[in-house]
Amino acid sequence: MLQIVTRKFFEVLFFVLFITFVSFLFVRLAPGDPVLTILNVDELSVSQEQVEALRDDMGFNKPLLVQYGLWLMNFIQFDFGLSYATGQPVLDMIIMGLPATIELAAGALFVMLLVSIPLGSLSALYRNSWIDQISRLLSILGAAIPSFWLGLILIDLFGVRLHLLPTMGRDGIISLVLPSLTLGLAISSVYVRLLRSSLLDSLSQEFIRASRARGLSESRIFFAHALRHSLPPVITVFGVSLGSLIGGVVVIEVLFAYPGIGKLVVDAIRQRDYPLIQGYILIMAIIVFIVNTCVDLSYRYLNPEMKLKERETK
């Protein structure tokens, strides 16, 4: 296991170094002089000396590799510099936005579980019944509906017309409802069908019949044996679709003006706020790494065969 974790860590490290170096280059070479952006040249009239002074101050006149070296040292200590747009330390901005993003992701996952597990289970247990047909229909539709469109409709319905739920910002748990619901429903469609087929497969296994022969209750057989056996494929898909979950979080944050790091980075991109963008990349790399590792670990937990076979080969 340690082997896997270290390997993943290096993959992440490689990617981060690669990306940061490239982005570092771009900042220096890209259109749009960052110094001018900071000084907001459009609004103020600034003298050439002031521009030069700031440029020197920010170290832009030093040789490229030296700049990179200095920057990298800071980066490793999580000093991402100051945002071009707001002047605040990037790390602070990210830390402020992180809780909101985590809430949203957790809320969406909660909705997804709440929807997929019952629907998937019932579709498998009552195969070809009306529940199965409806869940199939909903899945097909759900896979085609853009999350942001669903969000707009929900906003229209619950926010504007019925005035039931808040549609913007973050004022307590109730503002989490619509965004979580939107994102959660959007990702559910895949999992409903996946759980169904995984369950159908599990339920047809011999050990289910053996458990029945031992007199275990149907609910025990279903939850402790069949359902648990059905989890690995679902987790695999989750690991693979992490990308679209992240993208979904970003889009939903923008749609509902929920102040998380997704919204932060989109604004940053529009404003060419490179330090913030770089900070975002590092944070996301860490998050992706953590999630991937958790997925791998949960595999080992669910599937003792893997864990023990690995130990045996050593």
Binders of other proteins among residues 233 to 252 (CB under 8 A) are 242-244, 246-248, 250-251
> For other proteins, which residue of 1, 224, 286, 294 counts as binding (CB under 8 A)?
224
To other proteins, the closest distance from the beta carbon of 124 in angstroms equals: 11
Under rule CB under 8 A, which residues in 280-309 are in contact with other proteins?
280-281, 284, 288, 292, 302-305, 308
Tokens of 80: 């991402």
For other proteins, the binding residues in 17-56 under the rule CB under 8 A are 19, 22-23, 26, 30-31
CB closer to other proteins, 92 vs 218 = 218
Site residue total, other proteins (CB under 8 A): 74
Name which of 35 and 155 has its Cβ closer to other proteins.
155
Min. distance of Cβ 313 from other proteins in angstroms? 14
Among 170, 193, 196, 225, the residue binding other proteins under the rule CB under 8 A is 225
When asked if residue 169 is in the footprint of other proteins (CB under 8 A), the reply is: no
Residue nearer to other proteins on the CB measure, 50 or 309: 309
Question: Which CB, 195 or 255, lies closer to other proteins?
Answer: 255
Is 271 near other proteins (CB under 8 A)? no
The 121-160 site mask, x for binding other proteins (CB under 8 A), equals: ----xxxxx----------xx-xxxxxxx--xx--x---x
